[in-house]
Structure 1
């Protein structure tokens, strides 16, 4: 097949999406909602505008997803002046903790054929391609 960076990224994205969906289905989360829970877990009290900008989403999609996560018991949304502040519920905190393990498990599976030095080099090069500095610390 194609031997391009874009093709490799697309295949890895699809594999990761499938893997996470299978693992997070037990929590009632999808691949798309996972990143909302992670962002709010790392930034408790953030506004929906901050979340929308950080995830590079349009407002309508963000609004629908936040409301879905509030209704399904993952998020709390409290009015603070003109903005809504988002925090994780107890259910959201449990899903947040479980989601971190999904990332670590995926890394182990996807990078199993690489040495520790190759893993570090690959991740550092990907961060460089993203316009960011090298990732600090070991993988």
Structure 2
């Protein structure tokens, strides 16, 4: 097979997307809703502008996603002054818990062949590579 980071990143992305989609479908969520739900769960009361900027989303995509999440009962949107503030509904809280946990569950499955020391080494190397890339692009933590 290929010995490139791009190849392995693609393999992992496909696996993570498939795993996450399966877990989220039980809640009625799509993969595209994953990060907005997690963001609002970690930043209650945020504005849509904050969510859009921090996740690096296109404004139109953000608008459609937030509107859909509000209509489906995952988010609440309250106007305060000139901005709308977003929060999780009770249904959104459940989605947040599952969405947040899916990362840990998938890691455990995907990295089952590695021992603890190998996992730590892998994460240290990935953090080092990511830091270099983060310094040369507009990536947000």
Equivalence for 1:42 = 42
Runs of 4+ in 1 over 6 A off after TM superposition: none
Quote the Cα distance in structure 2 between the aligned partners of 1:56 and 1:128: 22
Equivalence for 1:136 = none
Quote the Cα distance in structure 2 between the aligned partners of 1:128 and 1:86: 34
Equivalence for 1:137 = none
Equivalence for 1:102 = 102
Shift of 1:100: 2.3
Quote the Cα distance in structure 2 between the aligned partners of 1:125 and 1:81: 45
Relative to the length of structure 2, the TM-score reads 0.89
Quote the Cα distance in structure 1 between the aligned partners of 2:52 and 2:115: 37
Higher relative contact order (CA 8 A, sep 6+): 2
Relative to the length of structure 1, the TM-score reads 0.90
Equivalence for 2:87 = 87
Q: Quick check: 119-128 or 41-50, which moved more?
A: 119-128
Equivalence for 2:28 = 28
Equivalence for 1:69 = 69
* 1:125 and 2:125 are equivalent in the alignment: yes
Q: Quick check: 101-110 or 70-79, which moved more?
A: 101-110
> Structure 1: where are the runs of 5+ without partners?
133-139
Quote the Cα distance in structure 2 between the aligned partners of 1:21 and 1:34: 9
* 1:52 and 2:52 are equivalent in the alignment: yes
> Structure 2: where are the runs of 5+ without partners?
133-141
CA RMSD of aligned residues (A): 1.1
Shift of 1:101: 2.2
Quote the Cα distance in structure 2 between the aligned partners of 1:82 and 1:69: 21
Quote the Cα distance in structure 2 between the aligned partners of 1:123 and 1:71: 38
Query: How many residue pairs align between the two structures?
Result: 132
Quote the Cα distance in structure 1 between the aligned partners of 2:101 and 2:3: 30
Shift of 1:57: 0.8
